[in-house]
Amino acid sequence: MKLRFYISFLITLLTVSIFAQDVELVATVSKNKLGVNQRLRVEYSINKQGGDNFKAPNFKNFKVVGGPSQSVSQSWINGKASFSQSYTYIIEPRAKGEYDLPSASIEIDGKTLTSKSVKIIVTDAVDVPRNPNDPSYIAEQNIHLVAEVSKSQPYVGEGIYVEYRLYFSDNVGIYDNAITEAPQYNGFWNQEIKRNGMPVKTAMYNGERYRYAVLHKALLIPTKSGKLTIDPMKMDIVVAVPTGRGDFFGNAITRQVRKEFSSAKKNIQVKALPTIGKPESFTGAVGAFTYEVNASKNSLKANESSQIKVTVTGKGNLKLFEIPKIVTPKELEVYQPERKENVSITTSGLNGSVADNYTVVPQYKGKYKIPSTEFSYFNPENEKYYTISTDDLYVNVLEGKELITNTEENNTISKQAVKSTGKNFRYIQTATNLHPVKSTDFFNSNLFYVLLFLPLIAIPVGILIGKKKEERDADVTGNKQRKADKLAKKYLSEAQKKLGNKERFYEALERALHNYLKAKLGVETSDISRDKITQLLRNKKVGEITVSNFINVLDDCDFARYTPINDVQMKQEFEKAKQVITQLDKQL
């Protein structure tokens, strides 16, 4: 009786465990990329018993050459029960292209379950190796370099991101990889999104389970409408693939092979901003923003300064539009605004604030109005324009000189009588008190002897200076060095003045590097990528070390704006930039 009880209990537990699982119909493929002359295995499996009326998908772009073959498996491992019922087909493509295998369906417990569609990429006919364990063939089937874009149809000025993922299956290992050709973002303002390390994650790719790592991620903001193209990324990868043989201990023997992989070209269709409803104050801001104008002091004395801050805060293309300018009365002296940026880069765009700080100094007593301003932006989420208006600002000058206004009363001239005070005419001296001036003999003076011997001393000194100049002119290397140092100081003088102010220093430093290249190469380098700059310098026969140092300084300028930097590090960066320009000038 006890034995029957235990057997019944185990059967009941097994049945409950099987039926407690989430029921799903899963589609798996042997490969998601194949040549038009290859075949593909498709398997549909369900993890619960009792399925009926299985309906295969319509393989309209494929020819069924085998199947369906049906199999059932049931197991009990470590107290866990599992069940699987599968339907397998062997198919081959009819033509090359990208296809989605439709969903299959099955009825169970009165409900109809459907599988997810699977994307299949069919390429040109490939040379199928006689040996199915060919390492190059296995590497190509198990590794995929994929560019994924967050949005394929953004508006002009709307931020999107592109992420380059390297998918690799459990069947292979990666020992080394290097990017041989970085992607080009023509028509986009772009900025790399910094990431913490390169963790390996697991995901489904075209119906198969893969591990993947994110190699590169960048924020892209289109600057023009129309069809824009993101060129492929290319990289060399050393792949360890199994040979199908094992060693003495039964461990699989692998073989390393180096292959080049490339991501697919991505086309982005950028939509132009709508013209209907576009405000006159719109200057290109796209995103979601707030806008305000504030004064540090509303009441002050003459010659006392006040700060007027114009701030745009939010998420969008913060660096790619103009901030409204304030208009002040002529009685207020206003200095050029100082730009302040506090912007972070995220996958959804630029986030933070940009502001212009105006310094206002009144000259006369009175109350002055600073008229209101308007700021307009386009929100791509609801596809609408918004306009924010500020209130008028008033600056009240309590103490100072009175402002003189020209009126008819002030311009009238009234005749007044001359008043005599008795001291209008002073005493005029009529006698002199002159003394003879003592004269000196010039020929016996010190000045005479100085002028006499000066040519005798000046001639040998001039000859000595001339010889030194000839030696200096003959030193070609030294002259190039001195000329390069002088040129570096010229371009970096503005950055040197900004030492201590991190944002303004690195902006001036980056601008100096671009201005130097613009002067030397005759091209506008501020609008081109690092790779293009590298290519231009290489074409000019500049050494690789010098090119690398120049690009590193540009990258440091971008990176340092978002990290804590002290004065010592800024001085080191300044000296590094000075040395790079000197090296470049000597080679150019």
Give per-residue pLDDT as tens, 186-219: 888 888 888 777 788 888 776 677 888 888 888 9
Q: Is 193 within the bounds of a domain?
A: yes
Which of 83, 99, 123 finishes a domain?
Answer: 123
The pLDDT assigned to 66 comes to: 78
pLDDT band for 572, please (50, 70, 90 cuts): confident
Q: Percentage of the chain with pLDDT > 70?
A: 77
- Asked whether residue 256 falls in the same domain as residue 358, the answer is no
Residues 286 and 268 sit within 8 Å (Cβ to Cβ): no
Residue 480 CB neighbours (<10 A):
14
What's the structural domain count of the chain?
Answer: 4
Place of tokens 């540009």: 554
Q: Is 8 within the bounds of a domain?
A: no
Least confident of 105-109, 249-253, 445-449, 507-511: 249-253
The pLDDT assigned to 20 comes to: 44
Average pLDDT over residues 110-121: 80
- Asked whether residue 299 falls in the same domain as residue 249, the answer is no
Least confident of 172-176, 307-311, 362-366, 403-407: 403-407
Strand partners, 147: 164
The pLDDT assigned to 245 comes to: 66
Strand partners, 234: 181, 262
Helical (H) or strand (E) element with 431: none
Residue 225 has pLDDT above 60, yes or no: yes
Which of 402, 428, 452 finishes a domain?
Answer: 402
- More confident of the two residues 133 and 517: 517
Q: Is 435 within the bounds of a domain?
A: no
The pLDDT assigned to 388 comes to: 93
Strand partners, 434: none
Residue 438 has pLDDT above 70, yes or no: no
- Asked whether residue 293 falls in the same domain as residue 202, the answer is no
- Asked whether residue 45 falls in the same domain as residue 146, the answer is no
Q: Is 459 within the bounds of a domain?
A: no
Instruction: Tell me which range, 116-120, 130-134, 392-396, is most confidently predicted by mean pLDDT.
Output: 392-396
Instruction: Tell me which range, 11-25, 146-160, 185-199, 393-407, is most confidently predicted by mean pLDDT.
Output: 146-160
Task: Kindly report, residue by residue over 58-93, the tens digit of the pLDDT.
Answer: 778 888 887 777 777 766 666 566 677 778 888 888
- Asked whether residue 237 falls in the same domain as residue 292, the answer is no
Query: In angstroms, what CA-CA distances link 401 with 124, 364, 365?
Result: 86, 5, 6
Residue 142 has pLDDT above 70, yes or no: yes
Q: What is the rounded distance in angstroms from the CA atom of residue 570 to the CA atom of residue 501?
A: 9
- Asked whether residue 217 falls in the same domain as residue 314, the answer is no
Question: Domain with 490 in it: what CATH number?
Answer: 1.20.120
- Asked whether residue 326 falls in the same domain as residue 240, the answer is no
- Asked whether residue 314 falls in the same domain as residue 390, the answer is yes
The pLDDT assigned to 430 comes to: 62
The pLDDT assigned to 80 comes to: 66
Phi, psi of 439 (to 5 degrees): -95, 150
Residue 520 has pLDDT above 80, yes or no: no
Strands (E), 194-278: 200-205, 208-222, 226-230, 234-246, 252-262, 266-270
The pLDDT assigned to 412 comes to: 43
Average pLDDT over residues 483-497: 67
Quick check: helix, strand or coil at residue 459? helix
- Asked whether residue 225 falls in the same domain as residue 312, the answer is no
Query: Domain span at residue 305?
Result: 282-402
pLDDT band for 292, please (50, 70, 90 cuts): very high
- Asked whether residue 160 falls in the same domain as residue 111, the answer is no
Least confident of 320-334, 458-472, 489-503: 489-503
- Asked whether residue 176 falls in the same domain as residue 263, the answer is yes
Q: What is the rounded distance in angstroms from the CA atom of residue 258 to the CA atom of residue 252?
A: 19
**Residues 6 or more apart in contact with residue 392 via CB below 8 angstroms:** 369, 370, 371, 372
Residues 147 and 263 sit within 8 Å (Cβ to Cβ): yes
Task: Kindly report, residue by residue over 423-437, the tens digit of the pLDDT.
Answer: 544 555 666 666 666
Strand partners, 209: 204
Which of 270, 305, 334 finishes a domain?
Answer: 270
Q: What is the rounded distance in angstroms from the CA atom of residue 519 to the CA atom of residue 524?
A: 9
Average pLDDT over residues 571-580: 81
Q: Is 432 within the bounds of a domain?
A: no
Q: Is 69 within the bounds of a domain?
A: yes
pLDDT band for 410, please (50, 70, 90 cuts): very low
- Cα angle 449-450-455, degrees, rounded to a multiple of 5: 105
Residues 340 and 316 sit within 8 Å (Cβ to Cβ): no
**Residues 6 or more apart in contact with residue 67 via CB below 8 angstroms:** 87, 88, 89, 90
Question: Which among 518, 491, 508 has a CA at the least distance from the CA of 570?
Answer: 508
Gyration radius of the chain's alpha carbons: 40
Residue 242 has pLDDT above 50, yes or no: yes
The pLDDT assigned to 585 comes to: 75
Q: Is 225 within the bounds of a domain?
A: yes
The pLDDT assigned to 353 comes to: 92
Question: Domain with 113 in it: what CATH number?
Answer: 2.60.40
Residue type, 526: S
SS (H, E, C) 468-503: HHHHHHHCHHHHHHHHHHHHHHHHHHHHHHCCCCHH
- Asked whether residue 501 falls in the same domain as residue 583, the answer is yes
What does the mean pLDDT of the chain come to?
Answer: 77
The pLDDT assigned to 233 comes to: 87
Q: Is 453 within the bounds of a domain?
A: no
Query: Taking the model in full, what pTM does it have?
Result: 0.51
Residue 101 has pLDDT above 60, yes or no: yes
